[in-house]
């Protein structure tokens, strides 16, 4: 973990937007009109998928992938002008939110300005051809950080350029493929512009790490990435969460991995907790009921770490928009079943200091498919129970018998003989130590 990471990031809510498909025009200016609604969800950080021009050579779909970038110093004309983007930064700040953009430094498009000007900065395969290290990424070619320090200089100057414009953070795509030393230097130099800058690494899961290493390439683990980054994706456990939802593994396999995070990462670690994103299926397509959807939503907010929601999640979207074409988010079910209201409530609970400083435990409950988590300080504890299987029964809790208030529903929670009766709603309550 970066030594100067601000632990208040554990209390943050990040809202992910793919500008092309977020609204009718897909422009920065129209997004400005949606900022007030986004803020009302309790969002702290607006995160945009890549904003830069997309390469045309070997492009995917009709419009190409936003992660196949042609020029790091420009904005995609689909979205507007640089002045429009500056207006978005200013409007985001006026709403009391920070703005984070995607940084894609593992590769560029196959017709990027860097490839045209500096072909010596790029990876070559055994046949001496420009290539990438992951076979299905057919629209990009990889950078090679071992060849020329001038590449490092160019990319870091670009990071400083956007920071100077007012960008507050970077989500770094497949950051594990880029040398940690590069990210450490970048962090130091950007901090001279904004000492509170936020660094989020898209780290990768263990299976992918093993595959890349088996091909003879270097890729970093989360433990390594935490040297330079404030937040890492929870892809080290995500596959086990997905396996449970798909009926391929018991819930305990996922919880075991989450428990391990408490001992294998530094004490000040921050994980990015999400149920879905632009690369993953919508949670509403994986669960069977609104009750389960609310249960998982509460869980992802109350786990230890920053929470990320993908635009459309609050509208119960089941379809993940294409990255390569116009494929608009369907907003017709916005706040259906009170999902947006629930997110606002959960964001408010997340702001309590116990979510930042409390000692955290997570474990299975005695009833199948239930989870109990707890935060505690010297003065109070917060207990949350999630009944993913919507079962009946009782779960034990570490507090004295009595009546408590469910912080989400205001209903009375009775603890009797050290147990709480399960409901079809998340249970969250607090008690004095």
Checking if the pLDDT of 1 tops 80, the result is: no
- The tokens for 421 are 């009766």
Q: Catalogue the E-assigned strands of 268-366.
A: 271-274, 306-310, 359-364
> Which has the closest alpha carbon to 71: 90, 91, 54, 96?
54
Residue whose structure tokens are 């929670």: 413
DSSP H or E stretch at residue 161? helix 149-165
d(C-alpha 115, C-alpha 122), whole Å: 7
239 φ, ψ (degrees, to nearest 5): -60, -35
Which tens digit of pLDDT belongs to each residue from 113-148? 999 999 999 999 989 999 988 877 889 999 999 999
Checking if the pLDDT of 205 tops 90, the result is: no
Of 127-131, 293-297, 356-360, 391-395, minimum mean pLDDT range:
127-131
Residue whose structure tokens are 């609104």: 290
Band of the pLDDT at 268, cuts 50, 70, 90?
very high
Which tens digit of pLDDT belongs to each residue from 289-329? 999 999 999 999 999 999 999 999 999 999 999 999 999 99
The answer to whether the Cα torsion of 105, 111, 112, 116 is positive or negative is: positive
**Residue 133 to residues 142, 144, 201, 412, 427: CA-CA distances in angstroms?**
7, 11, 19, 56, 46
- Domain boundaries 370-432, CATH class: mainly beta
Q: Catalogue the E-assigned strands of 38-157.
A: 45-48, 98-103, 107-109, 140-142
Strand pairing report for 140-142 and 45-48: unpaired
Checking if the pLDDT of 52 tops 70, the result is: yes
> Which has the closest alpha carbon to 423: 401, 393, 380, 402?
393
**Residue 368 burial (CB count, 10 A):** 14
**Backbone dihedral region for residue 430 (phi beyond 0: left; psi -120 to 50: alpha; all else: beta):** beta
- The contacts of residue 62 (CB under 8 Å, 6+ apart) are 324, 325, 326
pLDDT value for 31? 98
The CA-CA-CA angle for residues 275, 278, 280, to 5°, reads 50
Provide the whole-model pTM. Answer: 0.97
List helix spans (H) across 199-250: 206-214, 222-225, 235-245
Just give the CATH number of 7-353. 3.20.20.80
CA 177 to the chain's CA centroid? 18
> Contact 148/120 with Cβ under 8 angstroms?
yes
DSSP H or E stretch at residue 293? helix 290-302
pLDDT value for 218? 86
187 φ, ψ (degrees, to nearest 5): -60, -45
- The tokens for 277 are 């994103």
The CA-CA-CA angle for residues 155, 158, 162, to 5°, reads 145
d(C-alpha 433, C-alpha 205), whole Å: 38
pLDDT value for 294? 98
Every domain of the chain and the residues it spans: 7-353, 370-432
d(C-alpha 355, C-alpha 141), whole Å: 41
The answer to whether the Cα torsion of 287, 306, 96, 77 is positive or negative is: negative
């Amino acid at each position: 973990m970066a030594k100067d990471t601000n632990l208040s990031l554990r209390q943050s809510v990040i809202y992910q937007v793919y500008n092309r498909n977020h609204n009718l025009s897909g422009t920065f200016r129209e997004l400005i009109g949606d900022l007030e609604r986004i803020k009302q969800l309790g969002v702290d950080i607006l995160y945009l998928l890549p904003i830069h021009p997309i390469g045309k050579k070997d492009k995917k779909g009709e419009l190409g992938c936003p992660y196949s970038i042609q020029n790091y110093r420009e904005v995609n004309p689909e979205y507007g002008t640089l002045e429009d983007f500056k207006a978005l930064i200013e409007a985001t700040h006026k709403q009391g939110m920070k703005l984070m953009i995607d940084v894609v430094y593992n590769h560029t498009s196959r017709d990027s300005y860097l490839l045209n000007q500096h072909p010596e900065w790029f990876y070559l395969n055994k046949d001496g051809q420009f290539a990438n290290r992951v076979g299905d990424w057919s629209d990009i070619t990889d950078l090679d950080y071992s060849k020329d320090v001038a590449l490092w200089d160019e990319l870091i100057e670009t990071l400083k350029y956007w920071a100077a414009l007012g960008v507050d953070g970077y989500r770094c795509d497949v950051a594990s493929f880029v040398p940690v030393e590069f990210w450490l230097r970048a962090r130091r130099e950007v901090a001279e512009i904004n000492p509170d800058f936020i660094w989020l690494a898209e780290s990768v899961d263990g299976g992918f790490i093993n595959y890349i290493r088996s091909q003879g390439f270097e890729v970093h683990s989360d433990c390594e990435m935490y040297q330079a980054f404030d937040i890492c994706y929870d892809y080290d456990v995500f596959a086990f969460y997905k396996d449970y939802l798909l009926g391929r593994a018991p819930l305990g396999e996922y919880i075991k991995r989450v428990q391990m995070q408490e001992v294998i990462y530094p004490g000040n670690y921050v994980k990015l907790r999400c149920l879905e994103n632009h690369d993953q299926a919508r949670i509403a397509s994986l669960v069977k009921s609104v009750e389960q959807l609310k249960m998982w939503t509460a869980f992802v907010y109350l786990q230890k770490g920053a929470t990320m929601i993908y635009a459309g999640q609050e509208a119960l979207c089941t379809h993940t928009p294409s990255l390569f074409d116009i494929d608009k988010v369907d907003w017709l079910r916005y706040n259906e079943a009170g999902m947006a209201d629930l997110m606002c409530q959960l964001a408010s609970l997340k702001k309590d200091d116990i979510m930042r400083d409390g000692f955290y435990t997570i474990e299975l409950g005695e009833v199948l498919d239930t989870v109990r988590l707890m935060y505690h300080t010297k003065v109070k504890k917060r207990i949350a129970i999630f009944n993913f299987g919507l079962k009946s029964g009782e779960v034990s809790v570490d507090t004295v018998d009595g009546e408590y208030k469910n912080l989400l529903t205001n209903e009375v929670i009775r603890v009797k003989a050290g147990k709480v009766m399960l409901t079809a709603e998340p249970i969250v309550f607090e008690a004095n130590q």
